[in-house]
A and B are shown apart, each in its own frame.
Chain A
């Protein structure tokens, strides 16, 4: 527990200082803050942070090893998992805009893998796509520079050909926090909340059914879901908040197939950001649909009296086709407890009305309109072929993509390498601007996005982020020359 508190306090401390541009020396194990004693007890901890071993300025050098581990994910039983540095989720890559990042990666798994830095704008060779598998026992250095203006919440996970759903389901996922040089939000507790779900056999083994079985068929159709919901690898943890306090929650959907609809009963959520960082202005919403791979940043206020508690819930969301819709889909599930501490209320911090300016991509500059048709397991009627280029373009080009979902199941769209902006959904203009790399395309709807390939030639994947769909070929290749 002591270690937990220290870690939490460290994160809180580090997060608090970011807005004031702390010196580099405060980051790392040496920064044991005085606030450790004031940390609330029974706090759900953020995942550990990757230790930066570089002494160079603006450089983050970390080591990640993927290997088999045995962890107790549920009380009383252990599970054989795949883990980054021995933990599920893996340790967080915590960097700043402008940092040069070097990741020394070792694959100690019995199968090829990659590390995909989901949402990060980086060179093709470091994207960790299926084009660059790392064989068992091999090492690879991923290297990229975090672009200014991209402060936000991202995540990393494997992306091997046909095995992503299995590898993530086995436990390979971790968070990435990119901190801004000048964060418009005031200092506050900064929580990383990685959502995942899983399904287990009685002996604790993670349940991956035979693909030819009925269960395997349903998983293939729906994307594999499990009844056990995890927050940072823990079931129903508690997050403490002081009455009047405001906390910044960065929520990552690390599930293979589950789309969440998160809500705090009886109150609105203040959403301040999405995949590619902050919005222009905070937005009050009743609930948030969080597709697989998608992230949100919300501000949570301690509006309850001291000593009371409430629950972050996952409300029913029907993403399913009738054939395979789970019978219990209409059930509200609990994710975590939000405990208001006994401390006397504090004065709320002021939240700025304007967070940043997002310059809209210019539709008049668009040189191509792409039609991307999602059906069940297919993009434009095809399954993935690594040797095929589905969309060909050039560095600097701006394009509009029309993504149509012609079937009765949601398909979350993900584009590698480039953040995009949503123009409209089913013809309805997007109400506010955001940088996105994930966009859920609900059943029988369409959306238009605009993207500029402003750097980095290469072959970039675009795909459905329901991992079973991706693994069965619901993926294409965008070549930028």
Chain B
């Protein structure tokens, strides 16, 4: 797999930010987040807090870096997918990934995708339009509602790292995308991915176990005092 330099650096910077934030932001999670599946049912102030938290996580995790608007929620094209399909796409070998419209537009965005499907996409890497809207309790195909034939998000969507985030933050992202962003109509051409739905990339050997091995691993130093 090869990425063009520009895309690669953007991808890597996303990952760096991600890893940094995964370590730094988790402790800030508010106690008002239920955290469990179905936390999208919150109402009132708790719901507003959840959406605000989701906005923070979306901005700090650079979702707009690929999906539009950079880190500026006031920017034109905020999260509504690529517009420049020549320069702002990822060319990976013979394949092309075109970051999608994440706004809740029914026809061109995620208006018909539920918060739970978004959660499952971030938590398990499952394409929301191909994965049932159900609670998933296992990462093993065929078990715990995990699809027997999983269809994964296209590379370079960095869900293998995103999945390590606290679940309430993933729910907060879903809440923000569905309730905190205005729908914007922008039809993004479908990505041209391989017929194995990227599944071969997402073996445990390549993306690591979930959850990660306990700290410190053999590659790390420090850790809890003994």
- CB within 8 Å of B: which residues of A? 211-212, 214, 217-218, 220-221, 321-324, 373, 375-378, 381-383, 404, 406-408, 443-444, 446, 473
Contacts and interface: CB of A to CB of B under 8 A. Distances in A.
Contacts of A321: 190
Contacts, number: 61
A220 B149 contact: yes
Contacts of B117: 381
B129 interface: yes
A323 B192 contact: yes
Contacts of A375: 112, 129-130
Contact of A383 (B108, B114, B132): B132
Given A220-B149, A376-B151, A322 B191 contact: yes
B130 A214 contact: no
Contact of A322 (B129, B133, B192): B192
Interface of B is mostly: loop
B193 interface: yes
Contact of B129 (A218, A220, A383, A406): A406
A211 B149 CA distance: 9
Given A322-B191, A382-B132, 19 more contacts: A214-B195, A214-B196, A217-B149, A217-B195, A217-B196, A321-B190, A375-B130, A377-B130, A378-B132, A381-B113, A381-B133, A383-B132, A404-B112, A406-B112, A406-B129, A407-B129, A407-B130, A408-B190, A444-B107
A323 B107 contact: no
B91 to A, nearest CB: 14
19 contacts: A211-B149, A212-B149, A214-B196, A217-B195, A220-B149, A221-B195, A322-B192, A322-B193, A324-B195, A373-B112, A376-B151, A377-B130, A378-B133, A381-B113, A381-B132, A404-B107, A404-B112, A407-B130, A408-B190
Interface bin, chain B: 20 to 34
Q: Which of B113, B117, B129, B191 has the most CB of A within 10 A?
A: B129
Contacts of B194: 323
Interface of B: 106-108, 112-114, 117, 127, 129-133, 149, 151, 187, 190-197
Closest 4 CB pairs of A and B: A381-B133, A408-B190, A375-B129, A376-B130
Contacts of A324: 195
Q: Which of A212, A375, A382 has the most CB of B within 10 A?
A: A375
Contacts of A221: 195
Contacts of B193: 322-323
A214 B151 CA distance: 13
A222 to B, nearest CB: 9
Q: Which of B112, B187, B195 has the most CB of A within 10 A?
A: B195
A376 B190 contact: no
